[in-house]
Amino acid sequence: MANKKDFVKEITARDDDFAKWYTDTVLKAGMADYSPVRGAMIILPYGYQIWENIKQEFDGMLKKTGHEDMTMPLLIPESLLVKESELIKGFAPEVAWVTQGGTEKLQERLAIRPTSEVLFSDYYARAVHSYRDLPLKYNQWVSVMRWEKTTRPFLRTSEFYWQEGHTVHATAQESHDETLSVLDMYEKVINQFLAIPTLKGQKTESEKFAGAYQTFTLESMMADGRALQSATSHDFNDKFAKAFNIKYLDNKGKQQYAYQTSWGLSTRIIGGLIMVHGDDRGLKLPPRVAPTQVVIIPIAPNEEVLQAATEIMTDLQADVRVSMDQSDKKPGWKFNEYEMRGVPVRLEIGPRDLKQQQVVLVRRDTGEKIVTPIADVHTKVNELLEEIQANLYQMAKDHLDANIFTATDMTEFKKQLGNHRGFVKAMWCGDPKCEAAIHSETKATARCLPFKQEQLSDKCVYCGKPAKKLVIWAQAY
**Pick from 274, 281, 255, 260: nearest CA to 121:** 260
Q: What is the rounded distance in angstroms from the CA atom of residue 63 to the CA atom of residue 61? A: 6
Residue 371 contacts which entry, Zn ion, a second copy, none (Cβ below 5-8 A, type-dependent): none
Annotate each residue in 78-117 with x if it binds a second copy (CB under 8 A) or - if it does not, as one string: --x------------xxxxxxxxxxxx----xx-x-----
**Pick from 238, 232, 110: nearest CA to 172:** 238
By CB under 8 A, which span of 14-22, 72-80, 216-224, 374-382 interacts with a second copy? 72-80
* Shortest distance (Å) from residue 432 CB to Zn ion: 9
Q: Which is nearer to a second copy, 100 or 419 (CB)?
A: 100
* Shortest distance (Å) from residue 465 CB to Zn ion: 5
**Pick from 70, 94, 69: nearest CA to 81:** 94
Question: What are the phi and psi torsion angles at 235 (to 5°)?
Answer: -100, 120
DSSP H or E run through 322: strand 322-324
Residue ranges with strand state E in 185-293: 199-202, 214-221, 227-237, 247-249, 255-257, 259-266
Give, as ranges, the residues between 141 and 160 that touch a second copy (CB under 8 A): 142-143, 145, 147, 158-159
* Shortest distance (Å) from residue 451 CB to a second copy: 32
**How is 439-471 classified by DSSP, letter by letter?**
HHHHS-EEEEEESS---S-SB-TTT-SBP-EEE
Residue 463 contacts which entry, Zn ion, a second copy, none (Cβ below 5-8 A, type-dependent): Zn ion
Q: What is the rounded distance in angstroms from the CA atom of residue 441 to the CA atom of residue 437? A: 6
| 330: Cβ contacts below 8 Å, ≥ 6 apart | none
Residue 69 contacts which entry, a second copy, Zn ion, none (Cβ below 5-8 A, type-dependent): a second copy
Q: What is the rounded distance in angstroms from the CA atom of residue 237 to the CA atom of residue 214? A: 8
360 binds Zn ion (CB under 5 A): no
Query: What is residue 113's DSSP assignment?
Result: P
- Of 295, 434, 446, 448, which one interacts with Zn ion (CB under 5 A)? 434
* Shortest distance (Å) from residue 97 CB to a second copy: 4
37 binds a second copy (CB under 8 A): yes
- Of 40, 180, 436, 463, which one interacts with Zn ion (CB under 5 A)? 463
131 binds a second copy (CB under 8 A): no
The letter for the amino acid at 287 is P
Residues binding Zn ion (CB under 5 A): 429, 431, 434, 460, 462-463
Residues binding a second copy (CB under 8 A): 33, 35-37, 40-45, 47-49, 52, 68-77, 80, 93-104, 109-110, 112, 119, 122-123, 126-127, 138, 142-143, 145, 147, 158-159, 161
